[in-house]
Amino acid sequence: MAKNRIAVVGGGAAGLAAAITAAGSGACVTVLERGERVGRKLLSTGNGRCNFTHANVSADRYFSDCRETVEYIIGQYPTERILAFMEKIGILPVCRDGYYYPASNQAAAVVDCLRAACEELQVQIQCSCQVEKITPFKGGFLVTAKGKETFYHRIILACGGQAAPFTGSDGNGYELAGRLGHGLSPVFPALAGLTAEKARLKGLAGIRAAARASLFVEGRLVAEDSGEVQFTDQAVSGIVIFQLSHQALEGIRAGRRAEIRLNFLPHQSEREVLSFLQDRRRRLGERPAEEWGIGFIHRKLWDRLLKEAGCRPDCLMKEISDANFQRLTQRLTAFRVPVNGSLGFDRAQVTAGGVNLTETEPKTLESRIVPGLYLAGELLNVDGLCGGYNLHWAWASGMAAGEAAALSQ
């Protein structure tokens, strides 16, 4: 039987995983990458260290229009298989608190090993190659690029989403999929900082603070997480905010009120914080209010909390009324930041929404609309939390599509 000729459109994580898996399964594979090099977005993942998977991957770490397909794919390609894939291409994985990285701590090493694996498997990589059109033709496809048509038996679309467009992710895959009849769920930035009114953030830019962040949509608690919050003059950011961004932006897009409430003593309840402050006031009540909190919270942030609680900065702590003291406790444990949007795709790590996952076969990610067409990675309506989950989906979906495309007849 003649080898399947497969075109992988997109040379990111999902595309390269698909290409390596398909070639390893006996197919003749060509990667068509519109940028000047493959794997460019990978270089910035994990702050340049490439957190490529997590020890505890499960479907509840993802948002999608078809949870069952996500469950199946990551069930077939769990963390152990991703680690085996990495070791096979030359990466030694190391685990830190459940987060997996290459032992070299270099995302560039992952890209280099992926390229080396492609070379060993005789995968052809064509960079600066913009795919203009894909046309079903006689049991396969004609792919138009650089004004030339080339026939392939199977196509794997792995073009990525719209996040971080400086890496080449500009959403062009949505148009290719749409022309072939696929539907698209609205796309929006995910794992992104959330914007707020400038007046609410005035004077807080540059502050980093540990906090428990709780997301309320229309007054209902939707999600929460703990970590470092970063303030800018227009947004709240940091991984803890990224983890809440999908649900916040989903609510905002639906016209609902979204608010982040921050507890700056994240391991304590409001009652416990009040008790802590009362004990501290008994011991340090002779200190002026402006100096009283600097041992446990950022000075600029403390100044804001005092102001909002109605406390004069030059007043001794023992002289502050019980009512103001209660308000201060409330600000410490539930500092409210109404959010109204995001910092946009330029500052987002991934894309929410995309080609509907319900339009693919759950076990193979083959299109239910165009036989012989497979889809993988961020192009699909799947996005995960921070922690290596999005790259895990890229590897897993790419491997699933690559293996199925290579073995199809």
**CATH number of residue 45's parent domain:** 3.50.50.60
> 46 with 133, same domain?
yes
Lowest mean pLDDT among 26-30, 169-173, 371-375: 169-173
> 202 with 325, same domain?
yes
> 129 with 69, same domain?
yes
Phi and psi, residue 204, nearest 5°:
-105, -5
pLDDT score, position 331: 95
pLDDT score, position 149: 97
Q: Do 184 and 201 contact (CB within 8 A), yes or no?
A: no
Across the range 188-217, mean pLDDT stands at: 96
Give tens-digit pLDDT for 100-124: 999 999 999 999 999 999 999 999 9
Lowest mean pLDDT among 55-59, 151-155, 295-299: 295-299
Give tens-digit pLDDT for 221-261: 999 999 999 999 999 999 999 999 999 999 999 999 999 99
Q: Residue 300: which domain range?
A: 193-343
Find all residues with CB under 8 Å of 15, minimum gap 6, and list them: 8, 9, 31, 33, 38, 156, 158, 159, 376, 377, 398
What total of structural domains would you count in the chain?
2
> 176 with 230, same domain?
no
Domain boundary among 321, 343, 365: 343
Does the structure show a pLDDT above 60 at 1? Answer: no
pLDDT score, position 371: 97
pLDDT score, position 93: 97
pLDDT score, position 46: 83
> 355 with 324, same domain?
no
Bridge partners (DSSP) of residue 226 are: 212
Domain boundary among 343, 368, 387: 343
pLDDT confidence tier of residue 409, bands split at 50, 70 and 90:
confident
Q: Do 288 and 315 contact (CB within 8 A), yes or no?
A: yes
> 142 with 271, same domain?
no
pLDDT score, position 41: 92
> 291 with 206, same domain?
yes
Percentage of the residues of the chain whose pLDDT score is greater than 90: 92
Does the structure show a pLDDT above 90 at 3? Answer: no
pLDDT confidence tier of residue 22, bands split at 50, 70 and 90:
very high
pLDDT confidence tier of residue 178, bands split at 50, 70 and 90:
very high
Tell me which of 295 and 52 has the higher pLDDT. Answer: 52
Domain boundary among 302, 323, 343: 343
> 30 with 68, same domain?
yes
> 102 with 14, same domain?
yes
Across the range 167-189, mean pLDDT stands at: 93
CA atoms in the 13 A half-sphere facing the CB of 166:
7
Q: Do 309 and 331 contact (CB within 8 A), yes or no?
A: yes
> 228 with 329, same domain?
yes
Could you tell me the maximum CA-CA distance found in the chain, to the nearest angstrom? Answer: 88
> 361 with 339, same domain?
no
Cα angle 342-213-338, degrees, rounded to a multiple of 5? 50
Q: Give Cα separations from 230 to 80, 194, 205, 240 (angstroms).
A: 34, 11, 8, 9
CB atoms within 10 A of CB 40: 18
pLDDT score, position 302: 95
**What mean pLDDT is reported for the chain?**
95
pLDDT score, position 137: 96
pLDDT confidence tier of residue 350, bands split at 50, 70 and 90:
very high
> 106 with 247, same domain?
no
Does the structure show a pLDDT above 60 at 348? Answer: yes
